[in-house]
A and B are shown apart, each in its own frame.
Chain A
Amino acid sequence: MSLTQSALGALVLLPLLVAAVTAVLPHTPRRTLGVGTALVLPVLLAPVLWSTAVDGDVVDLALGGYEPPLGIRLRADGLSAAFLTLSVVVGTAITAYAAVLPHSTGRRIVSPPTMQPEGPAGPGGGAQPEPAEQAAPADRPGVWRPGHPSFWPLWLACWSGLNAVFLSGDLFNTYVGLELVGMTAVALVALGGRSSWQAALRYLFVAVLGSLLLLIGIGLLVSITGTLDVLQAGAVLADAPEETRPAAVLALCLITVGMCLKVALVPFHTWLIPAHAGAPSAVSPLLSALVIKAPVFVLLRVWLWVVPAGEDLAVLTVVLSVMGAAAVVGGSVLALRQTHLKPLIAYSTVAQVGYWFLFAAMVGGSSSGSPEGLPGVDITEDDVVSSALVGTVAMALGHGLAKAAMFLAAGFLKDLYGTDEMDRLRGVGQHHPGLVMAMGLSAVGLAGLPISLSFSGKWMLTTSAVAAGHYWAVVVIVIGTILSAAYLVRAIAPLLVESEDEGTAVEVPEWQLEHASVLTQLPPLVLGLLTIVAGFGGALLGDLLTVGAPW
């Protein structure tokens, strides 16, 4: 029982403990505890990352001392470590942002005369409280105030759930972790006030349906393997008799459809736009950067570790890669047609999701029978899959960093100016140089231009696609890159260009501009810089992902 193993459990249970405690406390200590957790989690991550990345060991812990198949094993291999790092880095940055700007956490409704707003009244904060009248406060309509203290327990529990999914070595436990993530993510969307409730409810239905499909799939897998442990189930399935194969394929299909719902792959993407665009400023980046990574992680885990590849998956892989390609192109085109900043960024997420599913084509094997490499270079099937995995994970991580920065910046502008309509935000960039720089850097990351992490990812994926003979994937990646550059320029350029018609530009009171201190611009800027800097870690990521890899 080493300290590293204890850290493994603490990565999940510490934020959960703090989440439960903050549910009881008033607002200010909630923020303090939240920031404290954000400071401790990197310390807990460090030994786990050291063991996996430097020593090349898989860290695991049988909870309660009960080994599988009875007990549950936490397991951090290279894939877990990569996603955990994303969760901790982005989570810490957004926690800092929400702590500095409490009004970015949503809008709450209070009775008129009894409660005073805790934060400064921001735009759209509702009517001013009227003096007390004869009627009891309980009988009068409430007023909306900026800032929502429930953000803290919900976000910390969501963080705990994300780490639980990334660390889980058990199929049913993965389902429970996803439930925690889904439940809190829906509630976080609902913090945006009455207008976001419909989107939140729709998200709830989609999330629950996705979970149900996952649960049925896991039930089928247990029925074949007799164990819930990921490694044990994978080992049993690899030697399973032929007649159980249809059930395994059916389970894989159910899990895949469930996770596609949760990750909003085209054509299941319509719930994502109002949910991600309508969520509070501190929540949208969490949803896009982290929450949809949990189902992606589960998919990679089940496809590569549990159900062995085979000829009979050909149809599924083709369908998935076609849906991925449709997402890349369709999402980008729809993003180009948006007039508001946050919906544009939400459609960009839909497009990016598509890239991660091109991976399915490489798992499905090469189109020409055997992988074809350069003359004299021997490329095996495993090389194709491993390089596609590295590419996909690199793109998912790069998207996490860049999208968090982008959504933070867009949400900041929306909170400050009361709108995210791009025509009305013309020229506001001159007041926020740091913010515009953060958006520029994250745009480089999202488009996948050289030296960003997404560029390494696209490069690996392209290499893998060429080796497997899937040239169409290269075409999709190139089209996607061009379109994403176009919609990102469309998003950022107006901020830099002074409005020609003075009448349309938004005015903002001086005191609010003062409030937009340097400190608030720091989290997006740091995330934007990380998007670029992480590009140099592309090779490291490749090494990390070989730790505990199935080949």
Chain B
Amino acid sequence: MTDGPALIDLALGLGVLAAAGCALLPRTRFALATGFLVLGVVISLVWLRLGSVDVALAEAALGGGILGAVLVWLAVRSRPGAASDASDSRGRADGRVRTGLGVLVGVVLSVLGALVWARIYPQIARWQDPVAQQMPDTGVDHGVTAVLLAFRAYDTLLETAVLLMAGVAVMAVGRDGGLHQARIPVHPLSSTLVTMARVGAPVLLLAGLWLLFAGSSESGGAFQSGSVLCAMLILLRVAGVPLTVTTRRWMRPALAVGVVVFILAGLVGPVTGQPWLAWDPQWAGTAILVVEVFLTVGITAGLYMVYLGLDNPQGAP
């Protein structure tokens, strides 16, 4: 190994540690949230460096993008000041014990995680041959998409259902069936930010669609696409674009459509004497694309619903 790549890896590794420090040590919520955003960017770079473009995209979109947006929202909305209200000495001592315990648990879990990764790495070879054999049956060219929507489509279906139910849960604690929040106007932002948001939204739309349709042959797919499209919706809402009527009318159907289409597509198997979720290799690619399009709609709606749930679900002071 030459010096150049090693230096890059070293720099990235130190960058992760520094960013993690920025995400944990500051005393104000806003600084913590910013540190978290930086951490997301650095970790995406690490994944890229490891050659996992799919994971890098997912990390950037979900871990950095959506979760970052939620944290920034919380930092802006909650009362300014220290992140913890451990003001008296006893609380501080408690806090120290908890921090120590947290660090200890974190270290143990990290070591275990590293152990798993180190041991799992040689096993990947065992999956290479069956994957190469069965790839032609899946109707897609990209390995990650084949795993997500052919070999382990059932897991993906249940995970999408978890997201759908998260959306339903957010609606359940809300007022008037849960879409009341969409009516609450957002706080006005500075005009520069609004312009930025309006310019950024079409770009995000394009990026989201590209990620969706690229997924069959390159890195990308419904999850990454859905989170980018959700980010677009958040930007539009923040920029004051009137989405209320659309949200109230289309949120529920959009939430459910991914899971419904997925299961109906899976039903083709038992109807034609095949197992559940089996698609004929001839049109499996088409089936997977259709399922992915609707999954993207469902994932976008689910994530956006969770974001809307950040506003007071009671809807009144």
Instruction: Give chain A's interface residues, CB within 8 Å of chain B.
Output: 1, 5-6, 9-10, 13, 16-17, 19-21, 23-24, 61-66, 69-72, 108-111, 114-115, 138-142, 148-150, 153-154, 157, 160-161, 164, 172-173, 176-177, 179-180, 183-184, 186-187, 190-191, 197, 216, 219-220, 222-224, 226, 247, 250, 254
**Alpha-carbon distance A206/B169, docked complex (angstroms):** 17
Name the contact of A138 in the complex, choosing from B116, B154, B184, B269 (C-beta under 8 A): B184
| B119 touches which of A20, A184, A223, A254 (Cβ 8 Å) | A223
- Residue contact A1 to B120, C-beta cutoff 8 Å: no
Check A216–B126 contact: CB distance below 8 A: no
A220 touching B165, Cβ below 8 Å = no
A220 to B169, CA, bound (A): 32
Interface string of B291-317 (1 = CB under 8 A from A): 000000000000000000000001111
The residues of B with any CB-CB pair to A shorter than 8 Å are 109, 112-113, 115-116, 119-120, 123, 126-127, 130-131, 134, 137, 147, 150-155, 157-159, 161-162, 164-166, 168-169, 171-178, 180, 183-184, 252-253, 255-256, 259-260, 263-264, 266-267, 269-270, 273-279, 314-317
Q: Please determine whether B256 and A20 come into contact, CB atoms closer than 8 angstroms.
A: yes
Rounded to whole angstroms, the CA-CA distance of A173 and B156 in the bound complex is: 10
Contact, CB under 8 Å: A70 / B134: yes
Residues of chain A contacted by B276 (CB below 8 angstroms) = 6, 9-10, 13, 61, 63-64
Within 8 Å CB of A223, what residues of B?
A: 115-116, 119-120, 123
A21 to B123 CA separation, bound complex (whole angstroms): 41
Contact present for B278 and A65 (CB under 8 Å): yes
Q: Could you tell me if B275 and A70 are in contact, using CB atoms closer than 8 angstroms?
A: no
**Smallest beta-carbon distance B26→chain A, Å:** 24
B259 touching A66 by the CB < 8 A rule?
A: no
The complex places the Cα of A110 from the Cα of B178 at a distance, in Å, of 9
Q: Which residues of B contact A69 (CB under 8 A)?
A: 126-127, 130
Most buried by A among B126, B147, B173, B177: B173
The reply to whether B154 and A180 contact each other, CB–CB distance below 8 Å, is no
21 contacts between A and B (CB under 8 A): A10-B270, A10-B276, A13-B266, A16-B161, A17-B259, A19-B165, A21-B260, A23-B256, A24-B255, A62-B275, A70-B134, A114-B176, A157-B164, A160-B161, A161-B158, A176-B162, A180-B165, A184-B165, A219-B113, A223-B115, A223-B116
How long is the Cα–Cα vector from A216 to B169 in the complex, in angstroms?
27
**Contact at B252–A23, with CB atoms within 8 Å?**
yes
Q: B314 near A153 (CB under 8 angstroms)?
A: no
Separation of A190 and B276 alpha carbons in the complex (Å): 34
Report whether A138 and B263 are in contact in the complex, using a CB–CB cutoff of 8 Å: no
Contacts known (A23-B164, A23-B256); A220 close to B115, Cβ less than 8 A: yes
Shortest CB-to-CB span from A16 to chain B, Å, is: 6
Closest to A227 in B: B126
Cβ B252 vs Cβ A180 within 8 A: no
Instruction: List residues of chain A with CB within 8 A of the CB of B153.
Output: 63-64
A197 touching B165 by the CB < 8 A rule?
no
Min Cβ gap A358→B in Å is 29
Which residues of A are found within 8 Å of B127, using beta-carbon distances? 69-70, 226
Q: What distance in Å separates the Cβ of A496 from its nearest Cβ neighbour in chain B?
A: 37
CB distance from B163 to the nearest CB of A (A): 9
Residues in A with CB closer than 8 Å to B151 are 64, 66, 70-72
Which residue of B is nearest A7, CB measured? Answer: B270
Residue contact B159 to A5, C-beta cutoff 8 Å: no
Within the assembled complex, what's the spacing in Å between the Cα atoms of A61 and B109? 35
Pick from A108, A222, A250 the residue with the most CB of B within 10 Å. A108
